[in-house]
Amino acid sequence: MGTFGRRLLLAVDAKGYGGVDVVTQREWQEAIRRLLREAATEAGLDWEQWVTQVGGDSVFAVLPQGASEPCLVDPFMRHLEAGLRTFNRNRRDEAWLRLRAAVHFGTASPAANGFEGRAPVEIGRLLDSRVLKAALASAPEAHLALAVSATVFNDVIGEAYTTIRPQEFREVRIAEKEYEGRAWVRVPGYDVQALDLGGAAGHGHGDDQPGASGSAGGATVSDTRPPSAPTAPGDTVVQVINGTVHAQGAVFGISK
Residue 210: left (phi > 0), alpha (psi -120 to 50), or beta? beta
| pLDDT tens-place string over residues 139-190 | 999 999 999 999 999 999 999 999 999 999 999 988 877 778 899 999 999 9
- Report the pLDDT averaged over residues 88-115: 87
| pLDDT tens-place string over residues 30-56 | 999 999 999 999 999 999 999 999 988
Assess if residue 228 is contained within a domain: no
Assess if residue 182 is contained within a domain: yes
Assess if residue 201 is contained within a domain: yes
| pLDDT tens-place string over residues 241-256 | 334 444 444 444 433 3
What lies within 8 Å, CB to CB, of 153 at 6+ separation is 166, 169, 183, 184
Residue type, 242: N
Structural domain containing residue 187:
6-221
Separation between Cα atoms, residue 180 and residue 250, nearest integer Å: 30
Cβ pair 105, 149 in contact under 8 A? yes
The neighbouring-strand residues paired with 145 are 100
Cβ pair 14, 55 in contact under 8 A? no
CA distances from 55 to 35, 77, 95 (A): 16, 21, 19
Assess if residue 244 is contained within a domain: no
Separation between Cα atoms, residue 126 and residue 153, nearest integer Å: 13
| Three-class SS state of 252 | coil
Assess if residue 1 is contained within a domain: no
Residue 50: half-sphere exposure toward Cβ, Cα within 13 Å: 23
Assess if residue 136 is contained within a domain: yes
Q: Which helix (H) or strand (E) holds 118?
A: helix 118-128
How many separate domains does the chain show? 1
Q: State the pLDDT confidence band at 111, using cuts at 50, 70 and 90.
A: low
Assess if residue 254 is contained within a domain: no
| CATH code for the domain of 196 | 3.30.70.1230
Q: State the pLDDT confidence band at 5, using cuts at 50, 70 and 90.
A: confident
Residue 108: half-sphere exposure toward Cβ, Cα within 13 Å: 23
Cβ pair 137, 208 in contact under 8 A? yes
Separation between Cα atoms, residue 200 and residue 208, nearest integer Å: 11
pTM of the predicted model as reported, rounded to 2 decimal places: 0.76
CA distances from 100 to 4, 59, 159, 207, 253 (A): 29, 11, 24, 13, 39
Assess if residue 255 is contained within a domain: no
Which candidate, 66, 139, 154, 144, places its Cα nearest to that of 102? 144
- DSSP letter for 51, please: E
